[in-house]
Structure 1
């Protein structure tokens, strides 16, 4: 994350008589502050947002629909604002629609995120960040706000919150989906192979391709029958790996990984390599950050080395 300098919002400081002048013993209503959890900011309502930061910390994201990174970050912050239960307000600034606000906040790139606490700007970051890192930054921000007496909470009415928008389908996803709907698994895999050739570092594409491969292997199969065949005496490598697929199809991640790792341990040479590659594919299908995958990676290293 690249930090940037402080922003001078002195011209927008809370007006006298605003909430910042409330007596020290004033407390928010039990249900929280009556304010919108997410607000779109322009020159007209910027002062109101600054004044609102005397009660609830405000996270301002400057974005543009022309930038996928900024659109994704704004959507992530909107989801986290709801998950944090109104402990901060999200203020969205479309720099194309409100360039004067971007200028006031001295934003030199998008996405840019700056917080407001008691009318004062708190530098945060520019560019996209992983969700885990963003949560850590938000937690630090809330601690700073609380130390400065800004610890209100917006009353969140779950029924009033808009349904999250479905992510727009990419051309690659559309082509793969259409192939899957036709039952043409090879075509769906080819779509992802082509996309990966153009973007070899895109782990999401690789995970999607491995999901397609697994769905193709499971097409028309009975998971219970596959498990029984995998447990039968003398089961070969294909049967053992099919049992791992079946376990995952039934939602048992630990059993899936356990079976796949046992297939690696029990074989040598080319068969061990086939099993190892399958384990790595299953890691991507399950999710690289899943704790089960982290444990299985350590077990795989122990088996191999």
Structure 2
């Protein structure tokens, strides 16, 4: 693949998986043992976590932005045998990476304009993105037994550019017919809403889950994350940064940029921005910034070392 370094100022539009983890920045980190790069494992059986997600053409830009968090492969496929083989093989190798890379699939058969633009004879075709930029393209002429190497090279390129985060699972592979669903019904409802872009529906589902069980930590985190997505979905990154720079005493402007930084993978920057505001302000605005920072801690995850470091800085800023 042709390689180039990622851009440092790439905004990102995130989503949330069924367990309430922010997709695309690993924020809290994905658990489990490290796989051997590019080697599909036996753990990827029916019902296993997966990092393969179907998308619509209008979601392509969001997925490209997501590559600011981890490498992304966008596969445009049809229903032919070559597409089936390429999809299956890439899915195995992507899932073997356990969150170090994401595979986004676009079905050309339900997007005639996309198939026409690409050229039917060039489908399936995959484009690799790192840091919001294309770094290579390949098609079915690449032998199936070499696709694992392609995926591994993407992960290595990302690592060389400081992208070491792991995304939470984005989907589940098909379960056996007699296997019970692992998600509570309202969590599954939230997940289903997110898959069709219904953020309000996902929020309603998580809120209902919390009404029924106030101690549901996953629902609480999921709710915070979906609200973060809704707050930032129509925000222009550059305009937000400009507004925050021009109005350093505007707590709302600082919070907006902090939200965008978290979604863009700039977690330390987001935390530092709010800590700085807290140090220099008092009263209701200070409390609003503090409460928002604590909410961002829950989104990133208490096990993330960046959260622990920021908590110490927050304590010093407050006392």
Q: Could you tell me the TM-score, scaled by structure 2's length?
A: 0.43
- Greater Rg, structure 1 or structure 2? 1
RCO (CA 8 Å, sep 6+): is it higher in 1 or 2? 2
* Structure 1 length-normalised TM: 0.45
